[in-house]
Structure 1
Amino acid sequence: MKTSIKFSDNLRFLVFTILFIAALVGLGTHVANAQPKRIKNIVLVHGAFADGSGWKPVYDILVNKGYHVSIVQNPLTSLKADVDATNSVIDRQDGKVILVGHSWGGTVITEAGVNEKVAALVYVAAFMPDKGETTGKWVAAAPASHDAGFTTPDQYGYVYFDPAKFHGGFAGDLTKAQSDFMNASQVPIIGKCFEEPVHNVAWRSKPSYGIIATQDKALNPSTERAMYERAKAKITEIKGSHVIFMSQPEEVAKIIVAATESLQ
């Protein structure tokens, strides 16, 4: 009889232990599933007169923080071509995406950002047009700086940033050596890109962040603010030139990280 009671008690204890562990495992699984996963994918889109390599300082910071970062090399031949190039990169991502655009790249992400994988947009000294608007409208929205200027379209339709004004007007807070190389390796844009209207506006339905480069001479900071405020974007001012993503990469990366964290 004593042996039987002892066996029964041990059996009850074993069953209780198994059920308790199972409950803990189930609770842990429920909590894990209840916690939204951090968005890990970030896609960076460059603007006119530069290419994706300018994003390297921001890329390095984000990758070191554990993000998966992809950089679009948009051809700058038409809005559609650039949107297609951006969507090609977005579609390759495993999960949701934070889409980031600089300058003309802001127009591109406004259109491409309607992609269902895009969760939020970050505009870095960028254009943020509405439906039916052209980038050119916003280029002319404020008086141009005397330190900046563009060439007229050449026989192939390409427009360059005025080489004589490149350092002061485009990359004033980079070293002269950095600026000289960027000037020599300019990626021109087809001038008609600035005349193409936007058809889809992602910022109307998705969270948006806008970075104002307070010393920007290529795109007037007041113009950046006007577009961002209209879109009700979360605005951050950073002291720097038009290529603020190169001169102040830590500050720019901080805003991109904030975009990923705000969606958790």
Structure 2
Amino acid sequence: MTVIVLVHGGFLDAAGWAPVTRLLLDAGHDVRVPAVPNRSLVGDALHVRGFVERLRAPVLLVGHAYGGAVVTVAGVADNVVGLVYVAAFALQEGESMGQLQGAFPDADLAANLVYEPFVLADGTYGTDVSVSIDAFPAVVAAGVDPAVVGVLAVAQRPLSALAFSEVASREAWSSRPAWGLVAAADRAVHPDVQRFGYARAGVVRTVEVAGAPHLVMHRDPHAVVDLITEALHHVAPERPSA
């Protein structure tokens, strides 16, 4: 059976996929949601690729936001059969998230980021980036249950600033089919960044979810699941086990 691996982005942990994970499990799919360190694109891609390869099964790799950059690189693992981008950065080889975003107007996220130092293993400092707790609901999660958003806002998994500047060493979409979902009201990753990346990647199909915020998997989990299911049927036309 093909395994669906959901890769979270910056500012969230694996629990950020919870509504989609629940729906996929209820439908009988084999799902994994690894925790990503969010320390660097190079390191995070290696981490996810190793996780995928240890599954020893065909994998449909799904990335949200920064997770899209991660799966673009990690998706060259031999057992990855397809990619799904959800409000994500679909980078090309040699490109960083900062470069791709820089070609388009800034999303509201840019003015609402918080920077904090953290200590690296060698004693030097890196920089953690998170979203202002006060701005999180409007910028990242408009339309999502306020009780849920309040928890997500104070439980952020920061993203290292290094991840914005490191370039993709590979582009898995060049050799694997991909699908893309645009969160049309995204104020964190500009929708045009999503559209451009998906078009350049030659995705099989792009779905636009009207009014969807960055956390589209919380406001519109069924739309996300529908696209993942479509991709799964394309790469592995099999019935999930009940």
Matched, 1:191 2:161: yes
Q: For 1:147 and 1:106, how far apart are their aligned partners in 2?
A: 17
Which SS does the other structure have where 1:254 is aligned?
helix
RCO higher in structure (CA 8 A, sep ≥6): 2
One-letter amino acid of the structure 2 residue matched with residue 258 of structure 1: E
1:215 pairs with one of 162, 182, 185? 185
Q: Comparing both structures, which one devotes a greater share of its residues to strand?
A: 2
Q: For 1:147 and 1:101, how far apart are their aligned partners in 2?
A: 19
Q: For 2:114 and 2:28, how far apart are their aligned partners in 1?
A: 43
**Does the aligned pair in 2 maintain the 1:127–1:135 contact within 8 Å?**
yes
**Does the aligned pair in 1 maintain the 2:182–2:206 contact within 8 Å?**
yes
Matched, 1:155 2:125: no
**TM-score with structure 1 setting the length:** 0.82
1:60 Cα deviation (Å)? 1.3
Matched, 1:250 2:222: yes
> Quick check: which has more Rg, 1 or 2?
1
Matched, 1:179 2:141: no
One-letter amino acid of the structure 1 residue matched with residue 178 of structure 2: S
Change in CA separation of 1:178 and 1:222 when aligned onto 2, cut-off 3 Å:
same
Give 4+ residue runs of structure 1 displaced > 3 Å after superposition: 145-150
**Which residues in structure 2 correspond to 1:56-135 (within 5 Å)?**
56-135=18-97
**Does the aligned pair in 1 maintain the 2:114–2:132 contact within 8 Å?**
no
**Does the aligned pair in 1 maintain the 2:38–2:44 contact within 8 Å?**
yes
Work out the percentage of aligned pairs sharing the same amino acid. 32
**Does the aligned pair in 2 maintain the 1:238–1:251 contact within 8 Å?**
yes
**TM-score with structure 2 setting the length:** 0.89
Q: Comparing both structures, which one devotes a greater share of its residues to helix?
A: 1
1:83 Cα deviation (Å)? 1.2
One-letter amino acid of the structure 2 residue matched with residue 79 of structure 1: L
1:150 Cα deviation (Å)? 4.1
- Which residue number in structure 2 is paired with residue 224 of structure 1? 194
1:81 Cα deviation (Å)? 2.1
Change in CA separation of 1:58 and 1:232 when aligned onto 2, cut-off 3 Å:
same
Matched, 1:241 2:213: yes
Q: For 1:61 and 1:132, how far apart are their aligned partners in 2?
A: 36
1:147 Cα deviation (Å)? 6.6
1:19-59 deviation per Cα after TM superposition (whole angstroms, max 9, x unaligned): xxxxxxxxxxxxxxxxxxxx531000000001110111111
**Does the aligned pair in 1 maintain the 2:69–2:89 contact within 8 Å?**
yes
Q: For 1:262 and 1:66, how far apart are their aligned partners in 2?
A: 17
Structure 2 segments unaligned to the other structure (5+ residues): 119-126, 238-242
**Does the aligned pair in 2 maintain the 1:149–1:169 contact within 8 Å?**
no
1:65 Cα deviation (Å)? 1.6
Change in CA separation of 1:227 and 1:147 when aligned onto 2, cut-off 3 Å:
closer
1:41-87 deviation per Cα after TM superposition (whole angstroms, max 9, x unaligned): 10000000011101111111111222110001001011122112212
1:120 Cα deviation (Å)? 0.2
1:92 Cα deviation (Å)? 2.7
Q: For 2:144 and 2:110, how far apart are their aligned partners in 1?
A: 15
Change in CA separation of 1:163 and 1:148 when aligned onto 2, cut-off 3 Å:
farther
